[in-house]
Amino acid sequence: MYKTHSCNELRSSHSGQTVTLAGWVHRRRDHGGVTFFDLRDRDGLVQVVVNPDSTEEGYELAEAARPEWVLQIKGVVQSRPEGMENPQLDTGDIEVSAVRVRVLNKAKTPPFPINEETEVDEQVRLKYRYMDLRRSRMRKNLENRYHIIRYIRNFLDQRGFWEIETPILFKTTPEGARDYLVPSRVYPGEFYALPQSPQQLKQMLMVAGVERYFQIARCFRDEDQRGDRQPEFTQLDMEMSFVERDDVMGLIEEMFTSLVDELFPEKTILSRPWPRLTYQEAMERFGKDNPDLRFGMELQNINDLAEGCRFKVFEQTVANGGDVRGFNAKGCGGYSRKQVDELIEFVARYGARGLATLGLTENGEVKSTFTKFLDNETVQAVIARFEAQPGDLLVFVADKPAVVYESLGRLRVFLGERLGLRDPDTLAFCWVVDFPFVNWNEDEARWDPSHHLFTAPMPEDAHFLDTDPGKARGQQYDLVLNDYEIAGGSIRIHERAMQEKVFELIGLDIDVARERFGHMLEAFEYGTPPHGGIAPGIDRICMLLSGEPNIREVIPFPKNQVARDVMAGAPSEVEEKQLTDLHLSSTRTPGQV
């Protein structure tokens, strides 16, 4: 056998035992005719000492060995000399005195250091991903991902869920993002689609009487990339029959609370039970429906103070139906003109035409871009509204509500990060509920679903679908963690008449709806139970629990930010014969990107 023990397994209790190890040379050191090196495998490190008196041939091999060579070591476990212990290693009390060294494979000099955490260009890391994954941080991320998924599987198994795989080749039914299409060789001109999610299929499983289903599902969306998105990703797909909203939310809250307690005891869950915010409350307090609750700086509306205040920007905004909102950036009252200009430039990226500021110096003096237009009573009312103290900075945006929310919501997070208020070891879970059922699409002059086509309206709001759809709320619920939506779910429509009404509401021609979703409409006529579900994003959850800045750090082989696999060179051209077999031709010209 190549090894009798893993490198991280050995302890003082193994002293005197002869063991065989195999792994990679992590670090190598020569000391007075004796060679020391750390041998690394997946589980950790152990120090190996090679003395020519014990193995002359092994000593020569050890002298020649370089980082990332693969070695097999046979040796005797012994305690390290007193004072030479390494408390930073689990195996720091012992070392292995080699009696035989065998080179299993040599290695070229790595493209970047494996034995230390250094800044490496991401494109280089992705090109040599198999090397990058040897580094301790990346190995830990993979381990975290494995333990998270294993915990979820065990938790759901104990609560009566069945894990069921659904097809990867399915029907194209555009529902938001573009589908990845797969041409059929057997049926010329026809295509499968890779699933954006198993939404329809899991509802079919509820029709089939499965009642409790889950799957660690691969999903595919042909969309522009961001730091927390990939063209293919993994979600925990779940669906349950005979449930209401609170049943789904309660199960998920129990699962993730216990998961954190067991797997990440160093993390602190900010609130138990998790807060529940309505969509409107989240927008008004935080400017976004995926708020970061780890810090304050909540938005306040000052329309009542702005009306008639003699500052034209505020007055006209309110008169035109807009909003004037702001927040208290605690401790930023001493910001320089240059620093304030940076904040102005920041909100401009999100449509804000300006940023009004009111700073209080340490001695209470007011420094402002607009208070010269206001009387002292109004100024003091504004200061009181935000409970401002000497040293604070109040920031305001006056514009259409959507612009105000977007710009201030992002500025709040930006300043929270700058001020060190976003502790990665604090987990601020919360639920956001009572979303609008539909949103009006100005460009297309139609109603768009807030969640997806199959979300049910709140029972008490269903009548609004006929009279005033904008007032209806959906039975949707989002799980938010530290500024990220990590799960979205809803109670589904389970009756054909309601599903057809929603298709009609969003402007989907009934014949088109029946062509795309006829299988679901027909199924709803065969005793479909009330059902609902949710789909937590595995990649985002692993990212946040591992303290990483983007999901590429927790995916073994991710695409880069422009959706390319730089290690394997995908996507790539194919042979003309392959296109011919698939009855396809390419319109791409040589050199075209």
Q: If pLDDT is split at 50, 70 and 90, which confidence band does 175 have?
A: low
Tens of pLDDT, residues 281-328: 999 999 999 999 999 999 999 999 999 899 999 999 999 999 999 999
Q: Which amino acid is it at 59?
A: Y
Mean pLDDT (whole number) for 137-166:
98
Backbone angles phi, psi at 100, to 5 degrees: -155, 135
Inter-residue long-range contacts of 127-134, CB under 8 Å, 24+ positions, other chains counted: 127/566, 127/567, 128/567, 129/556, 129/557, 129/567, 130/567, 131/68, 133/556, 134/24, 134/40, 134/68
DSSP E strands in 221-340: the ranges are: 232-241, 268-269, 276-278, 300-301, 323-329
Inform me whether the pLDDT recorded for 593 exceeds 90: no
Mean pLDDT (whole number) for 519-548:
97
Q: Where in the chain is the domain with CATH 3.30.930.10?
A: 138-266+430-568
Q: What pLDDT does residue 229 have?
A: 83
Mean pLDDT (whole number) for 31-43:
93
Mean pLDDT (whole number) for 27-37:
91
Mean pLDDT (whole number) for 133-138:
97
Tens of pLDDT, residues 475-503: 999 999 999 999 999 999 999 999 999 99
H or E, element range at 78: strand 70-79
Going by DSSP bridges, is the β-strand pair 34-41/18-31 parallel, antiparallel, or unpaired? antiparallel
Q: Where in the chain is the domain with CATH 2.40.50.140?
A: 7-105
Distance CA 377, CA 375 (A): 6
pTM confidence score: 0.94
What's the CATH architecture for 295-421? 2-Layer Sandwich (3.30)
Mean pLDDT (whole number) for 536-555:
96
Q: What pLDDT does residue 541 have?
A: 98
Q: What pLDDT does residue 176 have?
A: 67
Inform me whether the pLDDT recorded for 227 exceeds 60: no
SS3 at position 379: helix
Q: Is 404 exposed, middle or buried (0-12, 13-18, 19+ CB in 10 A)?
A: buried
CATH of 138-266+430-568, one of 3.40.50.12780, 3.40.50.11540, 3.30.230.10, 3.30.930.10: 3.30.930.10
Q: What pLDDT does residue 592 have?
A: 63
Tens of pLDDT, residues 4-25: 999 999 999 999 999 999 999 9
Q: Which CATH class is domain 7-105?
A: mainly beta
**320 Cβ contact list (under 8 Å, min separation 6):** none
C-beta of residue 37 within 8 angstroms of C-beta of residue 52: no
- 267 vs 142, 260, 262, 276, 364, CA distance in Å? 18, 7, 10, 21, 38
C-beta of residue 476 within 8 angstroms of C-beta of residue 248: no
Q: What pLDDT does residue 241 have?
A: 98
**Residue 577 half-sphere exposure toward CB, CA atoms < 13 A:** 0
Q: Where in the chain is the domain with CATH 3.30.1360.30?
A: 295-421
Inform me whether the pLDDT recorded for 31 exceeds 70: yes
The per-residue pLDDT of the chain, averaged, comes to 95
- 529 vs 204, 236, 461, 503, CA distance in Å? 11, 22, 21, 20
% of the chain exceeding 70 in pLDDT: 98
Inform me whether the pLDDT recorded for 224 exceeds 90: no
Residue owning tokens 């609560």 = 159
Inform me whether the pLDDT recorded for 279 exceeds 80: yes
Number of neighbours of residue 123 by Cβ within 10 angstroms: 12
Q: What pLDDT does residue 588 have?
A: 78
Q: If pLDDT is split at 50, 70 and 90, which confidence band does 589 have?
A: confident
Q: If pLDDT is split at 50, 70 and 90, which confidence band does 174 have?
A: low
C-beta of residue 399 within 8 angstroms of C-beta of residue 352: yes
